[in-house]
Amino acid sequence: MKLKGLFFYGYDNAGTHIANPGVDKKVAAQMMVLEQSGMLCKRIQSSGNYSKSLWRRIRVRMPFGSPIGDFMTCYRDEFDGYDFYYIRCTAFLSLPRLLSIRKLRKHNPSAKILYELWTYPYRKDYTRRWFDFPFLIRDICYLPFLTRCIDRFVTVSYHDIIAGVPAIKMINGIDLSKISPASPLPEDGSIHVIAVAKISPWHGYDRFIRGMAGYYKRGGRRSVVFHIVGDGHEKSSLEVLISALDIEDRVVMHGFKTGKELDVLYDMCHLGLISLATQDKDIFVHSTLKSREYMAKGLPTISTGITDVFINADYKYNLELPAEERIVDLEKIIAFYDSIYSGTPRQKVISEIRSFAERNIDIHATMQPVIDYLKS
């Protein structure tokens, strides 16, 4: 008999201001692999109108507040009777959600409950802005109760135990069949660097922007164009910085893009920027979804910290910058670009990186630890 499970994730009417295409693609691929492994998996999404109004921001920070429309705010009878439950964590842990997970355990004592963390450790995400501290306090109070209700955390970190609960360690994977390699556009003499993300301080894009400004202030002659694709609460501060440094002609804020519009930008660009500030929240080995998409597209990458799949790999297409470097040395970026493309056609570079991706980050391989546990 096939195992049956529920997968809790996402909003059914998310607008572009909260959309996260990278995670959406990952979840769709995870469910596909679970079904291909012989399981039946149904997705439960949150409903209701997601708003970024001031009232909502105040409400969710109240002691018992929860995301509007959260699928687990109110327990439903339809949740009962499954063999496993895969819950992807939301931005914060709320009391209504905790009580629903507790009821899920009580009603389904023999089921396996997995709780996927988007990153770990994560609590520094709650400390950058004073008005996010209620989330930190809530997490400290509620996490011990959550751990009594779940069987495993799922994490892309290297932790075997999290808050006393065994962890299933995996790396982020991607469905390569849904992402085609880049098709290079004619060269225009510039080095094009792309960064695709829901913009947050942990991406450290300001460090790259300041590095560009410094390079041109010192008389740098090579043309580098930085393409930032995405929205997020840090977008406006980056726009102010770009204007203050007078490099609007060299940094392009594209906003949210997906599909063919995003593909055209990938076709133009030579390098992908992963992240420059994850070390600020004590993450030194990372498994970001954007790194997977860059590899699937065939782009060499730039980051601080270590990308998990590059450890002990004979891989020359990643530039690891010093974590303590607060302003990027653009000369290093240019030298990295020259070392790759000065003697190698771009199409060959794309092909070699894509081959590496097929061997190391295909979702079928990265989900195997979860499948093994569910079938055990």
Angle at 139 between CA 135 and CA 144, to 5 degrees: 170
Residues 6 or more apart from 121 whose CB is under 8 A from it? Answer: 157, 281, 282, 283
Two tokens, residue 220: 């740098």
16 pLDDT exceeds 50?
no
Beta strands 301-304; 318-321: pairing state: parallel
CA separation, residue 323 to residues 12, 183, 320 (Å): 38, 32, 9
Q: Which of 339, 342, 321 has the alpha carbon at shortest distance from 330?
A: 321
Q: Which three-class secondary structure string do you get for the chain?
A: CCCEEEEEEEECCCCCCCCCHHHHHHHHHHHHHHHHCCCEEEEEEECCCCCCCHHHHHHHCCCCCCCCCCCCCCCCHHHCCCCEEEEECCCCCCHHHHHHHHHHHHHCCCCEEEEECCCCCCHHHHCCCHHHHHHHHHHHHHHHHHCCCCCEEEECCCCCEECCEEEEECCCCECHHHCCCCCCCCCCCCEEEEEECCCCHHHCHHHHHHHHHHHHHCCCCCCEEEEEECCCCCHHHHHHHHHHCCCCCCEEEEECCCHHHHHHHHHHCCEEECCCCHHHHCCCEECCHHHHHHHHHCCCEEEECEEHHHCCCCCCCEEEECCCCCCCCHHHHHHHHHHHHCCCCHHHHHHHHHHHHHHHCEHHHHCHHHHHHHHC
Token readout for 71 is: 């699928």
Which residues, in sequence order, are CB contacts of 123 under 8 Å at separation 6+? 136, 139
pTM for this model (two decimals): 0.81
Range 9-27 average pLDDT = 66
**What tokens appear for 240 in the block?**
């102010």
* Residues 293-337: tens digit of each pLDDT: 999 999 999 999 888 899 889 999 999 999 888 999 999 999 999
Q: Dump pLDDT digits (tens) for 44-100.
A: 887 655 556 666 666 677 666 665 555 666 788 899 999 999 998 877 788 888 889
All structural domains of the chain: 4-172+363-375 (3.40.50), 177-360 (3.40.50.2000)
Spatial neighbors of 40 by CB under 8 A, at least 6 apart, are 2, 3, 4, 5
Q: How far apart are CA 78 and CA 6, in angstroms?
A: 10
Q: Is the pLDDT of residue 17 over 50?
A: no
Question: Would you place residue 154 in the very low, low, confident or very high pLDDT band (cuts 50, 70, 90)?
Answer: very high
Q: Would you say residue 364 has pLDDT above 50?
A: yes
Length, in residues, of the chain: 376
Question: At 226, phi and psi to the nearest 5?
Answer: -105, 120
224 vs 129, residue with greater confidence = 224
Structure tokens at 205: 């894009």
